Amino acid sequence: MAYEALHLEKDEHVILEVRKHWIVFAGHAIGLIFCAFLPFIIFTFLKIYAPQVFSISLPGNVYALGLFFYTLWLLALWLSFFVDWTKYYLDVWYVTEKRIIIIEQKYLFDREVSNVRFDKIQDVTIEVDGFIPTMLKFGNVKVQTASEDNFNFFMTTVRYPEEVRRVIFSQHNEIGDRSFPFGNTQSS
């Protein structure tokens, strides 16, 4: 993969790319598929329980009008699918030797790029709640910084959160070891 758009430093390389689990996008897609069939379900329900609705005489071709509105409905669902996929695909964290680069796609044309150096990281917390997240190995990762505003970075439904935490802590510890080349300077 090409990481030129990340503006990495000369001696900096991507160690880990962190993305959301596929189950997030699958949930949205299943909901949209259900919504695509919803007009047929409503039409069948009305035909069975309220047949008087269809006895109303309207001028013109009613079925062509219904097909037009159903096509508009499918277009709206397709646009929603595209926006959900774009947000899913473009939300990513890159872990390098020096920092974490957080790219969050807020809306279709609104992206926020942040980064945090490992020496500013105070804590990394993971949450895996429930049977399905445990079985599919996804959870939430929260990185707390030690800056003056105590800013937290949070990503939900991350694939393999334990691995993400392990890599972040190993890089954090490696940066800490380079900061004190003569070992621990604290007195007992």
List pLDDT tens digits, range 114-123. 888 888 888 8
In a domain, 165, yes or no: yes
The pLDDT of residue 113 is 87
Give the position of tokens 């047949």. 51
What are the start-end ranges of the H helices in the chain? 22-49, 62-90, 131-136, 161-179
Q: Within a 10 A sphere around the Cβ of 178, how many other Cβ atoms?
A: 10
Instruction: Count structural domains, the chain.
Output: 1
Residues 6 or more apart in contact with residue 157 via CB below 8 angstroms:
20, 21, 23, 24, 133, 138, 139, 140
Q: Which of 101, 92, 59, 95 is nearest to 171 (CA)?
A: 95
| Residue-number span of the structural domain to which 56 is assigned | 13-178
Give the position of tokens 């890159």. 94
In a domain, 106, yes or no: yes
Alpha-carbon distance values, 77 to 32, 35, 73, 113 (Å): 6, 8, 6, 28
pLDDT band at 2 (very low <50, low <70, confident <90, very high): low
In a domain, 144, yes or no: yes
pTM: 0.73
Tell me: pLDDT of 99 over 70. yes
* pLDDT tens digits, 71-92: 999 999 999 999 999 999 998 9
* pLDDT tens digits, 104-115: 888 888 888 888
CATH number at residue 95: 2.30.29.30
In a domain, 183, yes or no: no
Tell me: pLDDT of 132 over 60. yes
